[in-house]
Each structure stands twice: as structure tokens, then as C-alpha cells.
Amino acid sequence: MDRVHASTASSPRLSSRLLLQAAGVVVVVVESGALSYKYRNGQGEQTLKNPAASTPRSRSAPMAAVQRLLRASASSGGAAASAARRRMSTAVAAEQTAPPSFAGAAERARRRAAEERNVQWVFLGCPGVGKGTYASRLSRLLGVPHIATGDLVRDELASSGPLSVQLAEIVNQGKLVSDEIIINLLSKRLKKGEDQGESGFILDGFPRTVNQAEILDGVTDIDMVVNLKLREDVLVEKCLGRRICSQCGKNFNLACIDVKGENGLPPIYMEPLLPPNNCMSKLITRADDTEEVVRNRLKIYNDMSQPVEGFYRQQGKLLEFDLPGGIPESWPKLLHVLNLEDQEEMKLATA
């Protein structure tokens, strides 16, 4: 398993800017600084291209491409948008054709390690895999915000704002909401964070389509993408056992997963994640966590979101992580592959 080395810089800094476009389209611009990286695998060889060390791109060219894309998508619909998207993809692909040499990557990594940089990570994975659980734990450990677009959508739903009826219909069927709406919600969230001086991010649930990944790629550099993986029968059980406390908003899971190893797959045991007594009477189930909708969400993930894995794999940014079990087994292993054990020890020691 590849390991990534990440060490926080003393004064992490990230500023994000939000540009509201004409025609109601929003573009997110993120400028970053702070967290240094080196990558290597277990044998001491660097096989992950250091994403943070990729040649810095001019921000203006991709920004213009994104603005063109979004204007095109707002004004003339599909054809112009796909043409603009194709142009952008070609430009991005052209940048990525040169295969990263180990010596070059190591040199860039050294240079990059000397710079300050924030965590700008993405968590991918099927519904129910645990993106929220591990992304929020890492966000607390690293002091960066965990931004889950599913939470943004649910907040919007709960607000009974103008979008909520439209959103409820889409989300309750397990479908994806439009890129425009999701980028709008994400932009608002980033702007709020910027006003509060937030630094870096761990994105969970975005990007979920290649189009979203291209838009994100055009406006900022993602350092690393963690792809959490778990077998499908377990995913369904986990979604069906999921509960949220309607008061504190925390996630729990009543399912006890105990699956035997078969057909070459390892056994998996996961303890339920039970709520404390004061949450017990306030538990609710998400409307999209019924078996029919979960299966639909898994299908949509395979059709629409799995290609995003390929998008980042091709960029050398994808860290595959097979969950070995529940939190007690998976968390230390995840910290190990991210080379963050020291970070946690330091945090525990100073707590």
C-alpha cells in the first residue's frame, strides 16, 4: 500500500474566493498555502505522483476555461457546454501527458515540501462506505474543515428554502442534483469558511461526476484523493443501519456487520456505532437510506462517480484504501498509510 507523508506547517493559510457569475452561475476559486508533502510507498519507492508537487499551473487560464464552460452551460445548454468541456479536458489532458519520472517527482516533492501548503483532499467512495466518518476524523486531526456536499444538500432541504421541494424529490430517489446547484451550495459554504478564516479542506461527496472533477481541477489543485472501498453487500447493510441524531446531527450505525470471507474476499466485522443515551430517543433515518434507494444510489455511483476515480488515478492522485473492518481496525491503518500516526500521538499528548 502506498503511503503519503503529510506534515502540517506551523501557520497553515488558505484563502478562498468566490466569484458570482452572470446568469446565476457560480465559480469557486480557491487559493492555497500550507502543508508540506512527500510521497513514498512502503518500500521507500515513490510510486504516487506527488500531486502537490505537480508543476504549478497558471490560475488564470483554467479559470477562464471554467468561466467559459459555466457561461456556455448557462446560456446555450448541453452542446456548447460539452464543446467547452472537451476543450478544457483536452487542455488538462495535454498537461498530463508527460509521465512523471521518479527523479523529477522527488525533486518537485523536495521543492514542494519546502513550501507551505494546506490539505486539499477529496474523499471518494460508495454510499455508506464511511467517507463522512473518516473525513471528519481527519479534519479534526489536521485542523481543516470537512465539507460534505450531502450535508449541504440536507441543510438546504431542512431550511425549507426555495430549492428544498425540488431537492427533496431528487435526493429521496437517490439521484444526483444538478452540477449547478451543487456548485452553488459548495461556493456558499467556501465563502462562509473564507469569512471565518478557514484553511484547507477535506471534500466529501464532491466531485461526484467527471464534469464536477473537471470544474474543480480548473480552479484549484487537489493534493490527494482517498478512495475508500468496501464490498457491496456490506455497504447496503451499513446504509440501512445508519441513523442520525436529530438534535446533535451526529451519525451512528445500528448494524452489526459480521460477514464471512468467501470467494477470495476477506471476512469483515464491524461493531455497531451506538449513540449515547441522550441521543437514543432522537434518532432518525435518512429518507434516502431505504433499500430500494440505496441500491439506486449504488448504481448511480457506479455509472456516474466511478469514472471520477479513473480521472484522479490518471493524475496519480488516487490513494486506494480497502477498509479492513470498523473504526478500531480501519482508523489506525488509514493513519499509517497517510503517515499521520505521529500527528495523532502529538494531538493526544497535548489534549
Question: What 3-state class would DSSP assign to 350?
Answer: helix
Active-site residue identified among 38, 71, 242, 243? 242
Selected from 122, 182, 225, 236, the binder of ligand ADP by CB under 6 A is 182
Selected from 113, 142, 176, 340, the binder of ligand ADP by CB under 6 A is 176
Q: Which residues from 234-253 bind ligand ADP, rule CB under 6 A? A: none
Q: Which residues from 202-221 bind ligand ADP, rule CB under 6 A? A: 205-206, 208, 212
Q: Would you call 86 a catalytic residue per the annotation? A: no
Contact (Cβ atoms closer than 8 angstroms) between residue 300 and residue 176: yes
* # of chain residues touching ligand ADP (CB under 6 A): 18
Per the omega criterion (within 30 degrees of 0), is the bond before 207 cis? yes
Name the amino acid, one letter, at 295. Answer: R
Do strands 224-229 and 318-322 pair parallel, antiparallel, or not at all (unpaired)?
A: parallel
For residue 34 the three cell numbers come to: 500550507
User: DSSP state, 262?
Assistant: B
Q: How far apart are CA 139 and CA 289, in angstroms?
A: 25
- Say if residue 37 is exposed, middle or buried (CB neighbours under 10 Å; 0-12, 13-18, 19+): buried
DSSP 61-72: HHHHHHHHHHHH
Selected from 149, 184, 199, 220, the binder of ligand ADP by CB under 6 A is 149
Active-site residue identified among 57, 286, 313, 347? 286
Provide φ and ψ at 258, rounded to 5°: -145, 85
- β partners of residue 2: 41
Nearer to ligand ADP, 109 or 185 (CB): 185
- In the complex, the smallest distance separating the C-beta of residue 165 from ligand ADP, rounded to whole angstroms, is 14
Question: What 3-state class would DSSP assign to 37?
Answer: strand
- β partners of residue 133: none
- In the complex, the smallest distance separating the C-beta of residue 302 from ligand ADP, rounded to whole angstroms, is 12
Sheet holding 201-204, edge to edge: 146-148, 201-204, 120-124, 224-229, 318-322
Judged by CB under 6 A, does residue 183 bind ligand ADP?
Answer: no
Q: Would you call 295 a catalytic residue per the annotation? A: no
Active-site residue identified among 112, 208, 238, 317? 208
Contact window for ligand ADP (CB under 6 A) among 55-63, 97-105, 200-208, 219-227: 200-208
Active-site residue identified among 68, 71, 131, 137? 131
Q: How far apart are CA 65 and CA 347, in angstroms?
A: 42
End-to-end, the C-alpha distance of the chain in Å comes to: 30
The pattern of x and - marking residues 292 through 311 that bind ligand ADP according to CB under 6 A reads -----x--------------
Contact (Cβ atoms closer than 8 angstroms) between residue 31 and residue 46: no
For residue 223 the three cell numbers come to: 493534493
Selected from 12, 51, 127, 193, the binder of ligand ADP by CB under 6 A is 127
- In the complex, the smallest distance separating the C-beta of residue 181 from ligand ADP, rounded to whole angstroms, is 8
The pattern of x and - marking residues 80 through 119 that bind ligand ADP according to CB under 6 A reads ----------------------------------------
Q: Which residues from 150-169 bind ligand ADP, rule CB under 6 A? A: 150, 153
Q: Would you call 208 a catalytic residue per the annotation? A: yes
- In the complex, the smallest distance separating the C-beta of residue 229 from ligand ADP, rounded to whole angstroms, is 14
Selected from 171, 226, 319, 335, the binder of ligand ADP by CB under 6 A is 171
Q: Which residues are catalytic?
A: 131, 208, 242, 286, 297
Binding site for ligand ADP (CB under 6 A): 127-128, 149-150, 153, 170-171, 174-177, 182, 205-206, 208, 212, 288, 297
